[in-house]
Amino acid sequence: MSFETALNSLSGQVRARAEKLLDAFESGQISQGTFITAMADVVGQARAQGATYAVSVLRDYVETALQAPVAVSPAMPPADLKRLEGAVVTILGSDQDTRMQIVRLATGETLDAAHQAYGESMEKLPMVKGWTRGVDSQACELCQWWGRDGRVFRPDHVMPRHKGCVCHPVPTITRTSNYQNEKQAANAARTNMRREAKRGNTNVA
């Protein structure tokens, strides 16, 4: 699954769950306290899922390039339940549209956690020498400009993004190997021949 497909589908799911919870609260089915705790829980879980999806997309890139399995240590984001509860409380106390803010919190947190885990995991992989911007299919002009016509950025350069952006860094992978390249091998062979000639081991007339 691509980064974009995975994240869009997850955003859709968390959005639906969040709206259902809000419906239950607004109709008096659950108390405000339950709503706050449950909402933080739903968003916290989506953060963890987003991170897992993102890291598995990263693993696919690396394994495809290396044609070998690779261990990608996932940088799991904290569930952050207390912080999320605080965010829900703030939304309930605000004058702005509650539903719009709840949806924005749920989807924004999910994407943020995914991007963060992806970036942090990528930075730890020695074979990743840089990245290009994988521009999402609905990319706005800003995202396209940020792609700089496929420029390769350093691994530790944090990809700029806007709210809701599902662009992602596509890693540039170099096989790290101890094997000599052809030129090095040829040089080494010549050096060996010279050494052996000096030692008189060759049958030079």
Contacts with Zn ion, residue ranges (CB under 5 A)? 136, 139, 143, 165, 167
Compare residues 77 and 134 and give the one whose CB is closer to Zn ion: 134
Is the Cβ of residue 106 or residue 139 nearer to Zn ion in the bound state?
Answer: 139
What one-character-per-residue DSSP string does 82-129 give?
HHHHHHHHHHHTSSS-HHHHHHHHHHHHHHHHHHHHHHHHHHT-TTEE
CB of 139 to Zn ion, least distance (A): 5
Q: Which is nearer to Zn ion, 40 or 58 (CB)?
A: 58
Among candidates 67, 69, 70, 50, which has minimal Cα distance to 1?
50
Minimum separation from the CB atom of position 22 to Zn ion (A): 27
Compute the least distance from the CB of residue 16 to Zn ion, in Å: 23
Nearer to Zn ion, 109 or 136 (CB): 136
Query: CA 205, CA 196: separation in Å to the nearest integer?
Result: 14
Query: CB of 120: closest distance to Zn ion in angstroms?
Result: 19
Q: Which two tokens stand for residue 84?
A: 């999320």
**Token pair recorded at residue 3:** 């980064």
